[in-house]
Structure 1
């Protein structure tokens, strides 16, 4: 019964932490440049690959919200992406965050961003798991026992015949995802400003 006393994790804390990390990243991006030259084919490859990761992240987040919609903490969703991982939204967010680092042109920054945000997501996921155990009891325990917390296992996929979704939740997730795409023209602008001499990078990032 003690688990029933666990309260839902305050998502505002996660959001604030991620926004602080985003601001820190933007500060690093403005004051630096990737060690891999902008003019090299490797930089172009990293940029295109990163953009691909971002599109996968957006598609995955939209796919996930189709299933969870407004049912979070109201019903135990175990189908679709939630049959492969208990936290598909966090997984696809990490995919996009890794892609952002690649779009900038830095493998080090991509892995560092993903690692720090992974820590935030895992902490949140563990707090949420304790709360869901209190809500759904043995049903959640069985689901948690067979389903990974974060990294999907495609072999577990199970899809329902049909899905009822929330258009409002889908729209909100879509517009939130536009921030990821907006970073590409930002990086291109920084690159142009540095090439024109309007912005001098203080250090290089491998």
Structure 2
């Protein structure tokens, strides 16, 4: 399927709006989970395997976002970056964030929650990526069209990976991304605390999720 250039946008998509949507969606998703429990018994082998897989997903998200920022930090929407993770997918930050959302659901112990969080993240980031693509096409024209023609919009293709010997990055942006990533890592103690409160009867359980 050939790439169809988007309609050029006059300005960069407002990232602040996207962050608000993601944060509100996260709260709306977490609050109901306080009063549910996963189908697999907490402490069972099955639950522990799924939880361990979720931890792996969250770590991939954390490290993947840091890796991506090393290439684009401080230059996003100002320069067309096409190397490193951006040579495999046009939106590595959004891809790794979606992996982290799925990991959060797996850490909870529910395949259904993992799928729902991943799908919600994917839909939000898809809208954001489309708006950004409109801006980048308007700014870089044929160069962006050629890049988009050979590079997947979301799912990475490792066969396309290429890099260069030297690159510069913004330490300030890297530090901010590291701090943002701590929210994902904070899920570890938060979910464990919720499990303890649920098992002790402090939190009532109304639903069971698979």
Q: Give the TM-score category using the shorter length.
A: over 0.9
Structure 2: distance between partners of 1:184 and 1:204:
21
Q: How does 1:11-50 map to 2 (within 5 A)?
A: 11-50=15-54
TM-score between the two structures when normalised by the length of structure 2: 0.95
Structure 2: distance between partners of 1:106 and 1:205:
6
- Report the equivalent of 1:186: 190
SS of 2:41's equivalent?
A: coil
In the alignment, structure 1 residue 198 sits paired with structure 2 residue 202? yes
What's the offset of the Cα at 1:105?
0.2
TM-score between the two structures when normalised by the length of structure 1: 0.96
Gap runs ≥5 in structure 2: 1-5
Cα separation, partners in 2 of 1:4 and 1:150, compared to 1, 3 Å:
closer
Q: Deviations over 1:168-195 (max 9, x none)?
A: 1111001100111111111111111111
- Report the equivalent of 1:75: 79
Whether the 8 Å contact between 2:9 and 2:131 is mirrored in structure 1 is: no
Question: Which sits farther off after the overlay, 61-70 or 18-27?
Answer: 18-27
What's the offset of the Cα at 1:198?
1.2
Q: Deviations over 1:96-115 (max 9, x none)?
A: 11100000000000001101
Q: How does 1:123-202 map to 2 (within 5 A)?
A: 123-202=127-206
Q: Alignment RMSD, CA only?
A: 1.2
- Report the equivalent of 1:99: 103
Whether the 8 Å contact between 2:9 and 2:134 is mirrored in structure 1 is: no
Q: What number of residue pairs does the alignment pair up? A: 205
What's the offset of the Cα at 1:147?
0.3
Gap runs ≥5 in structure 1: none
